[in-house]
Amino acid sequence: MNASPRRSPLVPPEMLRRRASPLAMVVATLCEEVLRELRQPARSADADALGRMLNLSEWGRSLAQALEGGELDDPFVGLERVQEAARHLGPKYVALLDTLLAGPEGRDAPPGPLPPLRLHRDLVDTLLDAEAPALALGAIEEGDVRGGMFALLLDGQLPPSTSGFRLGIGMASVEGLSVLHLVYEFYGFARYECVLRPTAPIVRQCLRRMLDASAIHILTFNPQGAVSVFKSEGEEFECLGLRHLWPAIAAAETNARDYERAAEAFARMTLKSTVLHWIARDARQRFDLSTDFVSLRPKQR
């Protein structure tokens, strides 16, 4: 009698995405701290100590169940749930959560005001009318410096304690087609990804502006129009590798039809992030900020 080979159970893609999200990493860290505290020898067996252990157990289990059950899939709703649990767990957990959201840069220096920023009015209106989450590329002027920006429309406002982000940019092959791959991760909160067509004039014009300014602006909007600004410049900008990447971008030959096929495949295979929808792809006229523009005075994160 031949026994059939045993197959490992497949983990559903939504579960892989759920467990790999930045918020899931935060929950895992909080739960690990709960377990560490529960394993410590009890200093006393009085009612207060027992109540503390019960509270830790209940809220730690509640967090883990919320993650596995998909209640934290939406990072904006999920963060509120995590913040509530941290408050019930105690001040130590509130401080730990703030540290995880702040990222490795920390919050030593309060954000200061940026010079006025100019954006094209129609691009902002188009972005705010889009379905979140979405991404648009465009021009930005900071004082006398003309640069390029990535503008993200998210489902809500980033938490105040989110002071840092990671930006990844590189060329990728999807279905054998060259695309520009972008990753935006806001520490401890959410990760977004997108692929762009490197041959699109708006992509090359935007990236060329970034290279000329030696800076990248990333603006995040919520549907109500509130905006946060992140900026990489100088040595931090050079470390992103965009200048080194430019020859590969300039040499790419992906056409619009092939890009759509690659973008659909990328959306299917992306398990660890939320995919941004690229909008306003042919709006090259929105690089002219001489007349139709809006001025922003946000604080830099």
Torsion 239-240-244-246 (CA) sign: negative
Q: Are 30 and 97 in contact (CB under 8 A)?
A: yes
Q: Choose the weakest-confidence range: 47-51, 90-94, 126-130.
A: 47-51
Across the range 283-300, mean pLDDT stands at: 74
Percent of the chain, pLDDT > 90? 32
Query: Which residue carries 């197959």 as its tokens?
Result: 7
- Write down how long the chain is: 301
Radius of gyration of the chain (CA): 22
Q: Are 125 and 294 in contact (CB under 8 A)?
A: no
Residue ranges of the domains in the chain?
13-102, 117-296
Q: What pLDDT is recorded for position 172?
A: 92
Which conformational region is residue 106 in: left (phi greater than 0), alpha (psi within -120 to 50 degrees), or beta? Answer: left
pLDDT at residue 253 greater than cutoff 60 = yes
Q: Are 85 and 59 in contact (CB under 8 A)?
A: yes
From the list 295, 299, 281, 290, the residue with the least C-alpha distance to 126 is: 281
The model's pLDDT over 186-220, given as tens digits with 9 standing for 90+, comes to 877 788 999 999 999 999 999 999 999 999 999 99
Reading the block at residue 51, the tokens are 């109540």
Interatomic CA distance for residues 34 and 291, integer angstroms: 56
Q: What is the dihedral of CA 84, 155, 111, 142, to 10 degrees?
A: 180
The model's pLDDT over 200-209, given as tens digits with 9 standing for 90+, comes to 999 999 999 9
Kindly give the pairing relationship between strand 145-153 and strand 165-174: unpaired
Reading the block at residue 2, the tokens are 């031949």
Mean pLDDT score of the chain:
82
The model's pLDDT over 3-16, given as tens digits with 9 standing for 90+, comes to 444 443 444 555 55
Q: What is the DSSP string of 10-67?
A: PPPHHHHHHHHSHHHHHHHHHHHHHHHHHHSPPS--SHHHHHHHHHHHHHHHHHHHHH
Interatomic CA distance for residues 135 and 120, integer angstroms: 15
Classified as helix, coil or strand, 166 is strand
Q: What is the DSSP string of 182-240?
A: EEEEETTTEEEEEEE-TT-HHHHHHHHHHHHHTEEEEEEE-TT--EEEEEEEHHHHHHT
